[in-house]
Structure 1
Amino acid sequence: MGALLGCYGHDVAGEDNNPLEELLNELENADLGDQARSWLSADENELISGAELGWALPDDVIDQVAWVTNTPVQEVADQLALVLPEVVDRLTPDGQMPPESLMDLVEQHRLPTSTKRSSNWPVV
């Protein structure tokens, strides 16, 4: 997840943005908004497939996560689709977007921060 969130979080001027909000906006724009909103609510999390996630996110995002984690692209998409609902649910316990910066989110949830390729990392 650290590698995925690392693909987000900065605008073109280099200002920090909320990476989780950017990710959810990508899903909303790809007609996966109902599923993404379910992860923010107290209702049961709706699932998405790896194919849907791969279609919703820019190609370079999945490719970068695959490269960083040394994992095939389709496997990255499938595994992210499995964990993303629960991770978003946990990052938004009150159904609200966390105000923290990317680094704060990464540190709070002990996600890897390096963009160097490593075979020692967990896949997501």
Structure 2
Amino acid sequence: MGLLDSVIGALSGVRSTSGSGDMLNVVLQMLANDGEGIGIDGLVERFKDSGMSSVLESWIARGSNLPISAEDLQRVLGTETVEEIAQQAGLSRRVTADRLSQMLPFVIDKLTPHGRLPANGLGDLGQLMGRMAGR
């Protein structure tokens, strides 16, 4: 297990033995330009519509990341999206929302090292996986 796996595991238990999926992979699929998920533009819209843009902006910008509760994140993403992620990860919706609330700020921060969103999205799944691995 690499350093990134250790950090993510410590933050959110994403690589624990409970659940059949890999939560990081599911999150990256949600954000990837070539995925079937909402993509970063959809995520930005959902945070904006929920009045929580400043939270997401803190994850993108350099500096400290504002926290988000599992309940607020579930409200932002929507029950259907959280349920889809839960099914892919093999976890309950409650556990999924909790892990996402801990993991998503770290992932978004890591994928936006220059403190801004790239004009053409975050990239395809392979690119996101490579960036998360620090390559």
TM-score, length basis structure 1: 0.71
* Aligned alpha-carbon RMSD (Å): 2.8
Q: Secondary structure at 2:64's aligned position in 1?
A: coil
Aligned residues: 107
**Structure 1 residues 103 and 26: CA distance shift in structure 2, 3 A:** same
- Structure 2 residue 129 is matched with structure 1 residue 107: yes
Contact in 2 for aligned 1:18/1:101 (Cα 8 Å): no
Identity level (%): 21
Among 90, 94, 100, the alignment partner of 2:110 is 90
Matches of 2:111 and 2:39 in 1, distance apart?
12
Q: Greater share of helix residues, 1 or 2?
A: 2
Counterpart for residue 69 of structure 1: 89
Identify the range of structure 1 (61-70 vs 19-28) with the bigger mean alpha-carbon deviation.
Answer: 19-28
Matches of 1:3 and 1:68 in 2, distance apart?
7
- Structure 2 residue 75 is matched with structure 1 residue 55: yes
Q: Counterpart of 1:80 in structure 2: which amino acid?
A: L
Structure 1: state its 5+ residue gaps.
111-124
Per-residue CA distance 1:13-52 (angstroms, 9 max, x = gap) = x9x9981232122112111111111111123110000000
Counterpart for residue 117 of structure 1: none
Identify the range of structure 1 (96-105 vs 74-83) with the bigger mean alpha-carbon deviation.
Answer: 96-105
TM-score, length basis structure 2: 0.66
Contact in 2 for aligned 1:27/1:56 (Cα 8 Å): yes
Among 25, 31, 41, the alignment partner of 2:45 is 25
Contact in 1 for aligned 2:59/2:66 (Cα 8 Å): yes
Matches of 1:17 and 1:66 in 2, distance apart?
13
